[in-house]
Amino acid sequence: MTPSNLSDTKLQKTFSEERLVRVNSDWVTLNSRKLALLSRQLYLLKAADGDTFLIEPLALDDFFSIPEKDRAQLNLAIDRPPAKDAFQIRWAELMEMTASERVQELSQQRENFEAKLSAVSSPEQKVALASEIAETAFLINRACLSLNKNGDDPQDATLVAETLAITNSVLALIMETPLAVSLFRTFQAKTQSPTLAHVTRVFAMATGFLLYYNRQRQAGLAAKIRIVFPQEYASIYRELLPSLNESWIKADNLIRLPILSRDQIRIQSLGALLHDVGKVTDLDYFDGSAPKDDIKIRMHPITGAGIFLRTYGTNYEDAMYIVGDHHNYLFNPEGYGLTQWERNRSQRTTPAPQCCIADSLATYTSGEALSYFPVEMCALVDVYDALSDPSRQYRKPLSSYQALAFMNETFVKTHKLDPVLFDVFIDYLKTLDSSLSPELGFTPKYQRRR
């Protein structure tokens, strides 16, 4: 090893908080860095002056994040530290597998899930199984999705098919058991990863919300909204889209409410399951207590949409836009995500929006609309879950009522969430939470007696 020209004084001054010691040890090289093993702790060499070395401890987690075959070459007798919780054990195991082993694992777990599902009868047992398989599907997708792939991986098609099969089974379960979504929320404390718990809840709740919406839509929701629109909603859209001609301000022009096919619900449900997949590139940050990092936060939908596209391709665009734009917030300046990033990058100018919620992706991506129906449905659930999440580090979870009140003040009145779909969400939430009685004031405007 070649000593550097640094003097002890300079080392001490520059790195006064770190350890400057003499070591009698062989050095090994790992990814161009030199390491020593002392008293079963790995140290990283930062600088050297003669036989005096500046070293710092290397976190064992960092060491074990290196592929096993590379570690084996170092021939260092280091045991894996005990994992902190069941989630970390699972994640570490997945990281040790090849991509095709992970997909095989997903197939196996899906088969086990289906076999167990047919053997149990209570809704609680069924939802416990579904909650577990949803977590597994999210984790294995995360472990397999990458921006650094070279072309198509041969197992990608299987990953997509297995994930869709799981999404479909959970969708069927939510359709068959009215209580299923509430039950999903009772399993939220099972995992040690707050991110994983959040995505499982959002997946179940967004799927339930889409199914609920579709039933209401088929039962005359659009007509109810059309009737009350001039009195109850028009003023909000005038503020939101000030350049509109008064004659255009009608419910059917501004909130286009599609009737969804089963296939559309399935793809949108997939988007909800994977909506935060971009967070898992920084799971330590999102699950930890590090100070707020705006760049990590603002990048997660963009990263997520990129890795989703690399594997799922363009056949699942509704899901990709849910991943990429679930924080777009009607292009409010506080919103962020894929579409804003693409527009800034290409410096594309768009026409003045004519509509708030589009029912076709082309209307949204052309700039004619502020949001796209599937994106907005997931955004509502995502904000609600973030506010009522029991495992957030810095604040207590809000009750359903408090969360809705907060959403109304901070997201709806400030034009970050659509007011009509927010009202449909209130109606849906009442089916899950009996404490949301009409006396609390949360009656959707389209339900109010006139």
Find the angle CA(83)-CA(87)-CA(92) to the nearest 5 degrees: 60
Write down how long the chain is: 450
**Backbone phi, psi, residue 353, to 5°:** -60, 140
CB of 390 to Fe ion, least distance (A): 15
Residue 158: left (phi > 0), alpha (psi -120 to 50), or beta? Answer: alpha
Placement of tokens 């070279």 in the chain: 150
- What's the closest the beta carbon of residue 401 comes to Fe ion, in angstroms? 21
> With respect to Fe ion, which residue has the nearer C-beta, 155 or 163?
163
Q: How far is the CB of 385 from Fe ion (least distance, A)?
A: 7
Q: Which is nearer to Fe ion, 105 or 382 (CB)?
A: 382
Query: C-beta of 323: minimal distance to Fe ion in Å?
Result: 9
Q: Name every residue whose Cβ is closer than 8 Å to that of residue 33 and which is 6 or more positions away in sequence.
A: 44, 45
Contacts of 117 by beta carbon, 8 Å cutoff, 6+ apart:
126, 129, 130, 169, 173
Contacts with Fe ion by CB under 5 A lie at 276, 382
Q: Which residue has the tokens 């009195």?
A: 231
- Exposure of 319 by Cβ count < 10 A (0-12 exposed, 13-18 middle, 19+ buried)? buried
Looking at the Cβ atoms of 13 and 292, the one nearer to Fe ion is 292
Which residue's CB is nearer to Fe ion, number 47 or number 199?
Answer: 199
Strands 33-38 and 28-30, bridge-based pairing: antiparallel
Nearer to Fe ion by C-beta: 276 or 317? 276
Return all residues near 7 (Cβ < 8 A) that are at least 6 apart: 49
Nearer to Fe ion, 286 or 446 (CB): 286
DSSP run (H or E) holding 10: helix 8-14
Nearer to Fe ion, 240 or 379 (CB): 379
Minimal distance in Å, beta carbon 449 to Fe ion?
A: 36
Closer CB to Fe ion, residue 325 or residue 382? 382
Q: By the 8 A CB rule, do 166 and 142 touch? A: no
Report, in Å, the least distance between residue 253 CB and Fe ion: 30
Shortest Å distance, C-beta 349 to Fe ion: 27
* Burial (CB count within 10 angstroms: exposed 0-12, middle 13-18, buried 19+), residue 92: middle
Residue 382 C-beta: closest distance to Fe ion, Å: 4
